[in-house]
Structure 1
């Protein structure tokens, strides 16, 4: 979903950064040291696992194997939450976190390129996620895992949580997508209003010509829309530059070649977002048999909090909580990982363990 805007932001930063490779080396080295897990009962392992007929990259990190296990369902499509490790290192003191580069994403894409990804469909990704979950349950000897989905990953996350209460202890959605059978247009209307206010007539004409009906869009139109949504909102654009691009640039896990592959993966996977445009969350069901949480950026213009709250209000679950992450656009949990962790410890941890989290 965001491959185009990430690529454009990276290009914009390339010129000043080109002369700072030495600084990049020092920062990556410091980050690698910061990420080391040395606790006696900790875990830090990664590698390829055979999932859905292809090798897919799975990372498992945490300071204590006795902590609740999180499976992250990444955004994009085609992104990887591994780039945010330095921002989310504190999470690993309280949770064991499984980060999975799904087919078409990051390390999985880099290993064999576009021809080695097999079937690229939402249905295939859904079944892959179930296989990854089963792998995690076996590898870590846990009955259930905590499902945390962000951005595009929430499209899969809702389905997994709804259909598999036997596998997941709770659902946490952040940057929660609400599609509503193609009827959810609030982000589109807000974009039109911003373009009208700033007098960007050419962009406004392009957006209005596309109409709000995403089922009629092609990949190029989707890319243009995402670019305009995020670059016309100051907080969103700042988040792309200071959180996403900086995380990519200073990631100790990604070489320069790896960064190029990362961006290619997002472009390759972008058609998956068009496949999702007709999903109707209400038609698929608003009853969940596990605790249900949505933590949304209060200023998110790509996946606004109001539609997410509307879904939340209609959800029936044994426990449910909705919270706003203050001062956050899209990528809310990564811009303010401290706020997100506090919510995880005060709202989610007690619901899945039956006891409060300890420091």
Structure 2
């Protein structure tokens, strides 16, 4: 879902490019210092790993290798989670986190835009399994905790459903519910907002698209997502203060790297059309691992109501649904402390068997 951020980012970054490069450098240096992991028990390594026949970027970070291991499945499509590292730094005190830039995203895309191979959901799923095997061997663990956000939840559900032997639990946030193109909660809410605002041209365009995602062109997908996010005040504020700021001040990304990241989002946009055909309930609602969804209470792109209904329909050894207060899409990145609280109080006990209250001073 982050593909549309590229358009907003270009405008929002025009002023800093013109006059605030010095401040950007100071801010990036401070964030880089904050990201340092120096303890003997910690791990901080990143680089290219041969996955699916191409070199793909994998980062592994955490303050204690004895902590549970998370595999993040990022959103977009084509949008790396690495720019959010400073915001999620606190998570690394309690978990070792494997962050993977999929083909068509982040540093993997920048390493060879012309050599990304097949950008299909099936290929991404095969890649994810290879990354899983690599992380298990590198860290010496049997299972990983799957944490998927936004577009990544499409892959995350399939991995959790089909490979319970590899994963200790599933956590979805900004959880997509597509229902074979039938889910219409976000669409109906957008129509109401456009009508209330008197935006006749945009309303006509949305009505012409129709509710069924399967019938939309990639250009219509891009236009629809942009309208959803920019017509909701909380979502638009999150785009500016969380997403764009994280991209702009990322200590890992040069200006050229930011341009590459935005291009990656557009190149990968066709994956959303593939995802529009998915029917989560038809693929199966039985999971043999603990199942959690933590959704922003104000998310208008992937609204909480369909996500809650999905959790209601799921059969799992343990399952739970929770709202992240004051959050739109990108809920875990807007309120990383709330998300961490949920990981520690709901998820970690389910995967470790430790039911004691979690101490997690930050």
State the partner residue of 1:269. Answer: 268
Please state how far the C-alpha of 1:11 moved relative to its aligned partner.
2.0
State the partner residue of 1:169. Answer: 168
CA contact (8 A) 2:3 2:269 kept: yes
Which string of whole-angstrom CA distances, capped at 9 and with x for unpartnered residues, describes residues 74-131 of structure 1?
0000001110000000000000000000100010000011x20011100000010011
Counterpart Cα distance in 1 of 2:16 and 2:139: 41
State the partner residue of 1:41. Answer: 41
Which string of whole-angstrom CA distances, capped at 9 and with x for unpartnered residues, describes residues 203-230 of structure 1?
0111111111211111100000000000
State the partner residue of 2:298. Answer: 299
State the partner residue of 1:313. Answer: 312
Q: Which runs of structure 2 are paired with 1:80-99 in the superposition (5 Å)?
A: 80-99=80-99
TM-score, length of structure 1 as denominator length? 0.98
State the partner residue of 1:237. Answer: 236
Which string of whole-angstrom CA distances, capped at 9 and with x for unpartnered residues, describes residues 41-68 of structure 1?
0000000001111110000000000000
5+ residue gaps, structure 2, are none
Please state how far the C-alpha of 1:259 moved relative to its aligned partner.
0.1
State the partner residue of 2:24. Answer: 24
Q: Which runs of structure 2 are paired with 1:204-283 in the superposition (5 Å)?
A: 204-283=203-282
Please state how far the C-alpha of 1:153 moved relative to its aligned partner.
0.1
Asked if 1:51 is matched to 2:51, the reply is yes
Which string of whole-angstrom CA distances, capped at 9 and with x for unpartnered residues, describes residues 132-172 of structure 1?
00000000000000000000000000000000110000000
Asked if 1:125 is matched to 2:124, the reply is yes
Counterpart Cα distance in 1 of 2:146 and 2:212: 30
Please state how far the C-alpha of 1:358 moved relative to its aligned partner.
4.1
Counterpart Cα distance in 2 of 1:11 and 1:329: 22
State the partner residue of 1:154. Answer: 153
Please state how far the C-alpha of 1:278 moved relative to its aligned partner.
1.2
CA contact (8 A) 2:106 2:260 kept: yes
TM-score, length of structure 2 as denominator length? 0.98
Q: Which runs of structure 2 are paired with 1:130-141 in the superposition (5 Å)?
A: 130-141=129-140
5+ residue gaps, structure 1, are none
Counterpart Cα distance in 2 of 1:111 and 1:252: 18
CA contact (8 A) 1:2 1:223 kept: no
Cα root mean square deviation, aligned: 0.8
Segments of 4+ moved more than 6 angstroms: none
- Partner-residue secondary structure (3-state), 1:181: helix
- Partner-residue secondary structure (3-state), 2:77: coil
- Partner-residue secondary structure (3-state), 2:326: coil
- Partner-residue secondary structure (3-state), 2:110: helix
